[in-house]
Structure 1
């Protein structure tokens, strides 16, 4: 691979902003902050790690930021909102000090993998089992208990709690981590936190007996702090310099059309020519990861006996909980670990042992694609931003001098956007629109960091239109009884509408199964190109003449018939029929949660339509009306809403 080898001036040492001095003597380069007459010594936290195992305690106290711990706590104590740039142990600091009072500490993450992984790590650091003092809550999965004080959760889970508790009264502190990713949910959550804090602080100022102020900590790994601080009316900014060593950047001398092939060649170039150290490769999505994993493992088997072994690990959002544990395991002797990851590994999680980073320069982003009067969210492979490139490079410098191989030219880097466009300006907003209306808020009038223009922003227009077509809104933008019932389900609006319709039509049990399968993060069917004809024949028994959804339901019913069999029998059945057992297991968990919601809403989840498939199709039609289309004489399809002509999707279940 041809590389442009930079001179020393090209080495990156991140971050570059003035740090919080770790001995607590300076914040943002200024003198030690005042503490209302109370000295640091009096505010110092006593025995914060008394129940923590000695080895973990030693690891934590060895961190560069550990000696600045008291200064960070003091700043949070003095300020309602703190914008913190860098990596710290703020949740633990809040727990081990008195800053958070007796309430819960929420720590939000944009991704469920980060929320669950960090919860597990912090639970270990606190010397407690997961679900005890430290727990987590993500969609369709929760591990908390009566003793939980730190609750890691996706930003969407905390936002949904607003539906039942508009003031988040059980939380005394909220840490919004990875705020720089600017997801729709994060932006909406920040807006609500700003309003909630004002209301709760005002109540405290009125002398109410149970004052309940709220502390907000906004954490970001990037240096775009000013915008967050300005949004919260000149909030305090702390720049915390963590453990970051120089990283040498190498640019490709040519543009690569096939980034997976380029990553493959670069990995083996590193493996054969460079000293020991693990390699982290950033790829856009799961398909790229699985393809490259197969290629690396195949070529690694052909290496000479004298070469180091190669151990490939993967990390992406759709992985089952615990499946990425190999990523964090110690690398065996005479072995190089190769981690294939999406942008989840940019900032949320630190992977030990990484010395080399290969950056494809690509990521997958959600974008709302519109055609006439209809549209949909889709994942699009796009160039990353300069901010993401810096974060990826920084992963190589956690433990010593690192090396980052960028599979794009320096000129291409110079033309990248400085930061990614906020999701709220480019994604479907239907789900958020409905949830906000249920708590009396209109997105158009909210105090947002970046406000979409209701007249010009297609996602805003599309959200209102979608909810109107689903019967969730009137033409005057008032929420309907159907809409209020839909929002109770932690589902996309289309699927929630199908469940509500199923209740009216008497096929709740069947539609819950279908929606659970559609909501699972993994594909139901395993496709192997070399065995396609064999797979088609084996699955023929599941095929339903009406199409994909009832074909999937047939698979589900067949698997459920094996519920009394051993795990090994069920596993073999899935292998024989080329069905993804993980997807079925995930769907089972989702279905159980949906059944619980049904019971709370006085909907009987056991009602079945028997062999009357027409009722199932009618229910799905209520929810997927924007996806409905008529078959045309030429084999194309014309959408019922909008009249857009589409070609048949070759990946649909009915073809396999």
Structure 2
């Protein structure tokens, strides 16, 4: 714990015009319309200029009981005299809610008007919840003085003083404002999560601080990461939050093989004791990107020591809290890892590299990570961006790549949208992009009665594949909204068809934002034409322009698909329309391949080898490893190249565009929008 220098409490209080007793600003406003006698009794909120409500004082008592509150003036003094401050504390200490409020007070003070405050979170739900909690504690309205910015949702105004945001959204803001000049204080929370965006942000902050001496940065870490964070930034001040936890820990006597059923049995045992209280269950689920097979793998692995400790602390605030660990005490003490592998070492880095290339234009492309990214993933990301025409011959971001980076999407999906500008199917591609970006809209059938509901989905199925089925679904949902159906009727319709109402609503929001981006960067948006054969072909061409690396072939006629880029085998996801109709196409383009108990291809549509050879870059095809699938594609290319093209006498020898694409231009990349 840092100690206060004599007189420093008064210095901090003077600078911020803060009342130590109330933890808020003293009234310095001049209001001639309010009775002076009334102002003597009412304290005004500095964020909106209105008197505090009774709830503010109720919540203030709760805030003052938080462990972080004892370190308030230590923190404020450190913030006043240093550019960067590291705060170390356990879970439930109040650091994620109180520190941003104090920083907002700092930015509002007379002598420190250097912009607003941004507090980053890894999870969007956490950012939303914290902003609502803090708005309540500050006695202001959410979306005005305090707000949040998460992917595809902005609940802020130009006057927002404190905004919670996901770290990826703050990075996207850097594309238009590399030095984040609108902020006076930037708080990076959830550092222990170590997402890719978090590590990129931690690196860029060092360069931004050099360019902006007035900027303040606060890094919030758990105690186990504090020393590493302090040394990374050059022995900066550390404020340690003292907290005491007294949760009783109960370990299992043997290692549980089936953790889910073990947790379920334990929940029932606790419930039957009839003790009062709530039960929290932490389930295991981790994703490790596999570079070799270009797939996300759902791998169950033991919890890290740091996360286990934080979970104990969450329950430790309860007077009689108990923590039941489904692992042995010996494992916890001897075999449990301190940290899990940082995401930057085991993730698909294509989006990150695209962002770094974009920031290189602004002179901020150099990144010195806390942990070095996986070299193989970096090379694959550069290779993929090259295939997508996002890089020029010198390895810098091309004009086409700059446009791709404007979309908050996977680069392959961004490429497909831009290709749709050439193939005149932008309206449909925006819908499809929204549907695959939103959470899965299909719900699993929970009982036998749901089998009939599942059969209701058949009316949405499109013979061209799952991508087109998703467009059908969205159009049906949109028609209900346009027809002014009540929310109850829409939710009931979703239940009847085993569809996720929240996911479909999110798809509407995403599509609207994508359309705004198209208009902002002045890209053409075609009129809807869904349903025609020409439109179906154009959508497939657009998809192949971005997803030519995600093509698979059925090798035995029974739905065992082998990936074109490697020898991994997967089956169609049970949500696929092909499974419902028992129709197995030979060649498919898929949106996602995941490795778990059952390797699955999700969102797949049939394509032809001819179409693949027309749209895939020739140098990508040349680099494919030898396989039976590659030989079949080569035959398709040779056949289309030797077939004479028909001449239309009425066109002075011009060939049909479709036939010309399958012959003379078969070895060229057709998406020439750049």
Q: TM-score range by the shorter chain?
A: 0.7 to 0.9
Contact 2:442–2:575 under 8 Å retained in 1 = no
- CA apart distance, 1:100: 5.6
Q: 1:293-315 deviations in whole A, cap 9, x for unaligned? A: xxxxxxxxxxxxxxxxxxxxxxx
Matched, 1:79 2:82: yes
Greater Rg, structure 1 or structure 2? 2
CA 248–581 in structure 1, closer or farther in 2 if over 3 Å, else same = same
Q: Which residue of 2 aligns with 1:116?
A: 128
CA distance in 2, matches of 1:494, 1:477: 18
CA distance in 1, matches of 2:78, 2:194: 25
Q: Which residue of 1 aligns with 2:647?
A: none
Q: Which residue of 2 aligns with 1:631?
A: 554
**Bigger helix share:** 2
| Alignment RMSD (CA, Å) | 2.4
Task: Tell me which of the two structures has the higher relative contact order, counting C-alpha pairs closer than 8 angstroms and 6 or more residues apart.
Answer: 1
Contact 1:433–1:443 under 8 Å retained in 2 = no
SS across alignment from 1:551: helix
- Within the candidate set 331, 335, 338, 1:418 is matched to 338
**How does 1:271-282 map onto structure 2 within 5 Å?**
271-273=271-273, 275-282=275-282
**How does 1:159-558 map onto structure 2 within 5 Å?**
159-201=171-213, 213-242=214-243, 244-273=244-273, 275-284=275-284, 364-371=285-292, 374-413=293-332, 414-440=334-360, 445-452=366-373, 457-474=375-392, 476-528=394-446, 530-531=448-449, 533-558=451-476
Q: 1:103-124 deviations in whole A, cap 9, x for unaligned? A: 1100000110000000000000
Instruction: Give the unaligned 5+ runs of structure 1.
Output: 1-19, 21-26, 202-212, 285-363
CA distance in 1, matches of 2:258, 2:420: 46
Matched, 1:580 2:589: no
CA 69–627 in structure 1, closer or farther in 2 if over 3 Å, else same = same
SS across alignment from 2:549: helix
CA distance in 2, matches of 1:384, 1:135: 33
SS across alignment from 1:477: coil
- CA apart distance, 1:85: 0.6
Q: Which residue of 2 aligns with 1:143?
A: 155
SS across alignment from 1:246: coil
- CA apart distance, 1:458: 2.2
Return the TM-score normalized by structure 1.
0.77
Contact 1:100–1:215 under 8 Å retained in 2 = no
CA distance in 2, matches of 1:157, 1:446: 18
Contact 1:367–1:377 under 8 Å retained in 2 = yes
CA 100–254 in structure 1, closer or farther in 2 if over 3 Å, else same = farther
Matched, 1:596 2:512: no
- CA apart distance, 1:377: 3.3
CA distance in 2, matches of 1:57, 1:444: 44
CA distance in 2, matches of 1:274, 1:146: 51
Contact 2:247–2:318 under 8 Å retained in 1 = no
- CA apart distance, 1:132: 1.0
CA 33–617 in structure 1, closer or farther in 2 if over 3 Å, else same = farther
- CA apart distance, 1:39: 4.5
Instruction: Give the unaligned 5+ runs of structure 2.
Output: 25-42, 46-51, 581-674
Aligned pair count reads 531
CA 151–383 in structure 1, closer or farther in 2 if over 3 Å, else same = same
Contact 1:44–1:70 under 8 Å retained in 2 = no
CA distance in 2, matches of 1:277, 1:638: 51
CA distance in 1, matches of 2:458, 2:550: 25
- CA apart distance, 1:544: 1.5
